[in-house]
Amino acid sequence: MKNSSFVVTGALLALIAACSGESDRGESCDRPGGTKDVWVSGTVCAKPSDKATQLVCIPICGADSDCSKDSDCKGVDGTSIKGCRFKT
């Protein structure tokens, strides 16, 4: 029983650490369109593709050339910001 409580405690601490401070690219986030105080500079909290359901930190972009070859520079819902979102 003690081992399972250590595992649960460790998992909760990891979750808290991932949701506080600065989240890096690809890490989950919970404030759609957010860009300040929680995420690494140059990222925005958004769906990484049109089919995605989870929000993650994605790179902000101005043109497709700012993104990797498997991503396009697309608008982020509810904002005037564009982010590198996977092609679907």
Per-residue model confidence (pLDDT) at position 23: 52
Q: What is the pTM of this model?
A: 0.68
Give the end-to-end CA distance of the chain in Å, rounded to a whole number.
Answer: 45
- pLDDT tens by residue, 25-83: 678 888 888 887 666 788 899 999 989 999 999 999 999 999 999 999 999 988 999 99
Sign, Cα dihedral of 47, 54, 70, 42: positive
In this structure, are residues 79 and 35 in contact, taking their beta carbons and an 8 Å threshold?
no
Q: Which stretches does DSSP call E strand in 1-88?
A: 43-46, 56-59, 71-75, 82-86
Under 8 Å CB-to-CB from 60, ≥6 apart: which residues? 35, 42, 43, 44, 81, 82, 83, 84
Per-residue model confidence (pLDDT) at position 10: 36
